[in-house]
Structure 1
Amino acid sequence: MKAMIRGLLATLCVGLALSAAAQAPEEGTGSGKTPEQFVASLHFKDGEIAVPQAKAHFRLTSAFHYLEQADARRVLEELWGNPPDESVLGLIVPATPTLVDDNSWAVVVTYSDDGYVSDEDAAKIDYQEMLEEMQQGTKDENAARKEAGYGTVDLLGWAVAPRYDAASKKMYWAKELKFDEAKDNTLNYDIRVLGRNGYLSLNAVSNMSELGLVQTGMQQLLPMTEFDAGARYADYDSSTDKVAAYGVAALIGGGLAAKAGLFAKLGLILAKFWKLGLIAFVGLGALIKKMFAGKREKGAVS
């Protein structure tokens, strides 16, 4: 159970960290350097990028640069003032706008080794029904957030409706969120790439005003992201490989939560640390429990 909770926190922390960055009034490096000097000290990589922790790679065009784990965490923690997160593997940064521009955005790369995620039910997902349940769950939990002394958050809808490409084994979607203390709505754009032993996550958060910019960039990244030979979805071996206890629908809710239905329990814990975090994810608890109640009864979820 402790390992499960650590995994869920790691999954959520990406959204929490970038959301805090998107809401923050100003940046600071904490090292006496100007933001421009800080960015100049980073080691940007280009072209073919290996992500050995995930047995994956990126083939980036000149439109993007890559920061490996150490520099990625420097940006998130020192430049943008977010809490430490060991799950961050790297950061994909557009060539323009730069990290210090007002409309800057970047893509946090993480990986879950929770097992092979079956896509057998992908074509049957009712995304409108899913959205309505997520919205209701988020709304229901606002009372608890207010009682704990934190602001409310509402899931306004899909900024980009979920789509699963069965051929490439890639899924993407985007949510529009409203934090009660924020002037602008928040965009949370996600990509999941399925592999043999888990999935690669690409997560970007920005203001809704940057939807066009972020959507264009994320669509460009889709074909640039692949697992290595032997770690691809098609390489799955049913006789030896671990299978995740959830399907592709649960990836929209964070995947790991499907195993334990922990969103409702963790909501207030997370709120204590990040007032402006993406606590809207907490609202998925009821949905996750509903989707997997049958599997738990059959012993599919331990």
Structure 2
Amino acid sequence: MKRRSWLSFLVVSMFMFGSVLPASAAGNYNVVESGTKVEMEGKFSFTVPENMIFLNKDDTIKMEKENGDIPTMNEIGSVHPIEDSENWALFIEYEDTGHISDDEQNEINAEELLQSYKDGTEEANKQRQPEEQFHVIGWNVKPSYNAATHELEYSMLAETAQKTQFLNYKLQVLTRTGHVSFILVTDVPALAKDKQTLREKILKNFVVKEGQRYSDFDAKTDKVAEYGLTGLILGGLGVAAAKKLGFLALILAFAKKGWIIIVVLLGAIGGFVKKLFNKKKNNAAPTDSDEEKPSA
């Protein structure tokens, strides 16, 4: 993030997400509708669920930039609801980190990780005015790993000085050569419902292809990541480095679409995506003059 403070990024993002996009923006996206199967990175496939749309890698990055977000460039797509009653967004990322060992699955110290984030955040707060500070409250979902499915999930809750709460939820699936991150942007009351949507409708339609699964790892030929599950939670840093660079660890692990005022972000993205879908639907509908034309 260069010299730009994280809190400044938070505030700027909040205002940017609240701004109105150019009218021409909605016409420049390739909206993939439900029922369509898409290929991703040559390693995965995804069938878009009912009442949702998909934006590919390039369009997802473009949407982020136009909304004032800073892409990680690990994006491989995003999923969005089209129903007015649904108000969430899901970003999918893939990092070719090398095979991540899950040997420490029973040694994840959630309290130590939490304290690292808290310490780093409070150290950074010393440079901020009281009304500009934000604080880590705790785990909304404690880090846990499912050895059968090779899934790591966690969600951290924070709040501003004005007691506005925000969070992100990450579900990370380990693969032969790295990991896929499903980053769910939602609010606290809707998290349980939206997690269920992620698991029952989205994850079930996401396929890690044969030869790319975690169990396909070949120790003789495949690259191995330099960190394990704890390092993955810390954004690729080891525990010792995270203690030394607590605030940096916080940024690296959670800067992506998590530490944003959720209500503002969802309102902007939700309206933007529904505008995309409705415009595509209107463009596809035949005009009255078309209907009156006799067939050739």
Deviations 1:220-266 (A, max 9, x none): 333333321111111100011111111112222212x3399378398
Q: Distance in 2 between matches of 1:49 and 1:18?
A: 33
Amino acid at match of 1:90: G
Q: Find the aligned partners of 2:166 and 2:241 in 1 and give their Cα distance.
A: 25
Bigger Rg, structure 1 or 2 = 2
What amino acid is the match of 1:228? K
Match of 1:217 among 197, 207, 213: 197
Task: State the match for 1:44 in structure 2.
Answer: 32
2:73 aligned with 1:93: no
Tell me: CA distance 1:222–1:40, structure 2 relative to 1, closer, same or farther (3 Å).
same
Under a length normalisation based on structure 1, what TM-score does the superposition of the two structures give?
0.68
Q: Which residue of structure 1 lines up, in the alignment, with residue 293 of structure 2?
A: none
* Identical aligned residues as a percent: 25
Check if 1:106 corresponds to 2:89: yes
2:182 partner letter? L
User: Counterpart in 1 of 2:20?
Assistant: 28
Letter in 1 for 2:83: T
Conserved in 2, the CA contact under 8 Å of 1:97 and 1:104? yes
| Aligned ranges 1:1-302 → 2 under 5 Å | 26-29=18-21, 31-33=22-24, 38=26, 42-47=30-35, 48-52=37-41, 55-78=43-66, 80-83=67-70, 85-97=72-84, 104-144=87-127, 146=128, 151-180=132-161, 184-220=164-200, 221-255=202-236, 257-258=237-238, 261=241, 264=245, 267=248, 278=259
Change in CA separation of 1:152 and 1:277 when aligned onto 2, cut-off 3 Å: farther
The answer to whether the 8 Å contact 2:154/2:170 transfers is yes
Change over 3 Å in CA distance of 1:235–1:117 after alignment to 2: same
Instruction: Decide which moves more: 214-223 or 257-266.
Output: 257-266
Asked if structure 1 preserves the Cα contact closer than 8 Å seen for 2:45 and 2:209, the reply is yes
Q: TM-score, normalised by structure 2?
A: 0.69
Q: Supply the distance in 2 between the matched residues of 1:153 and 1:40 (Cα, whole angstroms).
A: 36
Cα deviations by residue, 1:48-94 (Å, 9 ceiling, x for unpaired): 332126x122244315321112221232222x232355332211112
- Residues 22/230 of structure 1: CA separation in 2 closer, same or farther (3 Å cut): farther
- Code of the residue aligned with 1:51 in structure 2: it is M
Change (3 A) 1:264 1:278: farther
Gap change, CA 1:32 and 1:225, over 3 Å in 2: closer
Distance in 1 separating the partners of 2:29 and 2:241:
42
Q: Return the letter of the residue paired with 1:71.
A: D
- 1:141-187 alpha-carbon deviations (Å, 9 max, x no partner): 3224x28x993222111222222111111111111121336x63112
In structure 2, distance between residues paired with 1:131 and 1:266 = 12
> What's the secondary structure of 1:124's corresponding residue?
coil
Partners of 2:12 and 2:194 lie apart in 1 by 17
Residue 87 and residue 124 in structure 1: after superposition, are their counterparts in 2 closer, same or farther (change >3 A)?
A: closer
Change (3 A) 1:139 1:226: farther
For structure 1, which runs of at least 5 residues remain unmatched after alignment? 7-12, 280-302
CA distance in 1, matches of 2:107, 2:142: 15
CA RMSD of aligned residues (A): 3.8
Paired residue type of 1:174 = S
Q: Is the CA contact (8 Å cut-off) linking 2:102 and 2:229 kept in structure 1?
A: yes
Flag structure 2 segments of 5+ consecutive residues without an equivalent.
Answer: 261-296
Q: How far, CA to CA, are the matches of 1:264 and 1:200 in structure 2?
A: 25
